Structure 1
């Protein structure tokens, strides 16, 4: 690519998503350049964005003197020599090869090279000049260009870098409307985090056919190939050859796969539905708009650590993040959103006057969260019995799990047996309207307990869900000693809904922050691309119920 073409690229730009227009900026005249660039540069530096940040990192642990040649920026060599990183003009090829002894060809993430460099030498039209100044690296400019000219001091180069940052029109890729510098930097930082986590994933297996399009989007990276296959053995072979990991749906992780992965030295990454999932049920073949990608375990299994547990135990929770979590929580509650979108119009039975009202959500009895975190309790009927024993004077409502009621999963209990202990069975409609009227929720491991906490309800845990043990619930089940931190409600929401999951905008299919998905759900602009499959699944469920009877 010639230098003239390079100068037209905004310094802050989106990765090359192939399936949507992800543009976040377009060149324009700078209308306002701040006199103090420190805050501007700090935001970019913290997010580690700008330039081709999605490119492969330079492996500076290689022998000193390895030469890096970023492609698509300008014809330059970057050389690592002891404590210094240099960028020299391509005409110095003989000098560079003499210094380094060999040349490394390929695209380079500037943020894998610039931090900690003592000096940078480059042409003035190379964007690494601006990125180096943002990173605080001294720069020597060899020829005049957009980002600098020979002899300019740090202050002049900083002003040019600020002009490059401010001389754009910011765009929101989800709406196509205007955006801001702060919002774009935050979004690029979100994308960077997902891409960095995706880079080692070489293959995926165990993904249902109707989820695969979304899984490809969740796990995409522009700088590496990715195989989504049916065979776990093939996935392990691909990952072993690439030196990477395998992403797998937790319910498809067999003992044999665990043994083979350990023997071959291939890490497994669990991918599971997120907590604000979609506009319909997975049982109706509705693809997820949110997943979690966990490299150390999975959130619903308290027997081992998970990325979520680590986040809740150790992540910094600055006031800005807590304010964001509070606003997200309030939006979700106000819109009546639960795991499967919003349903505020569902009729809610009248509660008895003067009595404590308790909700017991049923679960799939062979669900992995029940097996892992139920503490040996799996029966919906036994859970209701225990609740009645603990709450003899309360009005108890039992809510069957929709997958069980539809005939697709295990856990069906005859109504008469439930009503021997509960006062009412509540079917149909969304979970959110029920949570708005009850006083307390008794759960085994159900996500309903977390949704109840967001609404300020008392939550009693008979098992060990991911939200137990942080000081917000009454815990009757065993809680891992690892969970030592006491969390506020909004700190829990920040970890569970902002820092841990991934989200896809159901309109553009671009990775998005949770606020975008929640907004789509609240405004009913989120749709199911496989809506034809839901009626078939409902008929299948009815048939299975008939056959069981």
Structure 2
């Protein structure tokens, strides 16, 4: 759980504590940087994700001769979209721009898990994507898959405000933000929106430290108590 006493950490419409720390907070100490880098490497090396329930298997999609980009869907009406200064039109524009700007790439479009399992809609639902049947380089990923399996085969990732975009940054991918998620505006992403309040360049370790270490709290179900992130990573790996 990430705690913020000002507003939701993903709210770009007003300053959150996370934003204030990244904009005006101190530089990390050498020890803090080393810990952040070690934890980030552990998460990536163990292929840990928000979607740990999803299977992790090699993917063969599109042409082996074409480079690939990934577009990420989100749950329709999700507050992180609204608070990320975006709407349905932004998702449409993101897809239209990808088709126009990447004619030589395979475009992988990852549908949101809630839309796959049913019961909740997403911005890239079957109705809005009907036209892609006539576009030969767009491929719909309408099944659960570990995000790292997708990161393995793509060069770039396009998001509106999905938290999975930060996982892509952690995995070393170039990320384009069409909305304003918590990790945008710090010089790490290619941003379509610019927020004047965010004017400081921050490293990936900086953002990771404040979001994953400083403001977050973790719980170990085996021990029935709060724990540090290192311990939680061990728990996830043990029970996978």
Do they fold alike, i.e. is TM over 0.5?
A: yes
Judge conservation of contact 1:346–1:429 (CA < 8 Å) in 2.
yes
How do 1:330-345 residues align onto structure 2 when only pairs under 5 Å count? 330-341=41-52, 345=56
Q: Does residue 318 of structure 1 match 2:29?
A: yes
* Matching residue of 2:152: 436
Give the Cα–Cα distance (whole angstroms) in 1 for the partners of residues 36 and 179 of structure 2.
26
In the TM superposition, residue 516 of structure 1 has moved relative to its aligned partner by: 1.3
Give the Cα–Cα distance (whole angstroms) in 2 for the partners of residues 418 and 329 of structure 1.
36
Give the Cα–Cα distance (whole angstroms) in 2 for the partners of residues 326 and 344 of structure 1.
26
User: Cα gap change, 1:344/1:331 in structure 2, threshold over 3 Å: closer, same or farther?
Assistant: farther
* Matching residue of 2:190: 474
Partner of 2:218, secondary structure, is: strand
Partner of 1:341, secondary structure, is: coil
Give the Cα–Cα distance (whole angstroms) in 2 for the partners of residues 402 and 379 of structure 1.
20
How do 1:449-468 residues align onto structure 2 when only pairs under 5 Å count? 449-468=165-184
Higher relative contact order (CA 8 A, sep 6+): 2
Asked which structure has the greater CA Rg, the reply is: 1
Give the alignment partner of residue 417 of structure 1, picking from 125, 131, 137: 131
Partner of 1:292, secondary structure, is: coil
Judge conservation of contact 2:81–2:160 (CA < 8 Å) in 1.
yes
How many equivalent residue pairs? 234
TM-score normalized by structure 2?
A: 0.89
Unaligned runs of 5+ in 2: none
* Matching residue of 1:222: none
TM-score normalized by structure 1?
A: 0.40
Judge conservation of contact 1:374–1:444 (CA < 8 Å) in 2.
no
How do 1:55-70 residues align onto structure 2 when only pairs under 5 Å count? none
* Matching residue of 2:216: 501
Give the Cα–Cα distance (whole angstroms) in 2 for the partners of residues 330 and 382 of structure 1.
34
User: Cα gap change, 1:359/1:306 in structure 2, threshold over 3 Å: closer, same or farther?
Assistant: same
Give the Cα–Cα distance (whole angstroms) in 1 for the partners of residues 27 and 62 of structure 2.
41
Unaligned runs of 5+ in 1: 1-290, 526-549
How do 1:90-489 residues align onto structure 2 when only pairs under 5 Å count? 291-313=1-23, 314-341=25-52, 345-350=56-61, 352-378=63-89, 380-411=91-122, 412-414=125-127, 416-421=130-135, 423-426=138-141, 427-477=143-193, 479-489=194-204
Judge conservation of contact 1:502–1:511 (CA < 8 Å) in 2.
yes
CA RMSD, Structure 1 to Structure 2 (Å): 2.1
Give the Cα–Cα distance (whole angstroms) in 1 for the partners of residues 79 and 178 of structure 2.
16
Give the Cα–Cα distance (whole angstroms) in 1 for the partners of residues 48 and 109 of structure 2.
20
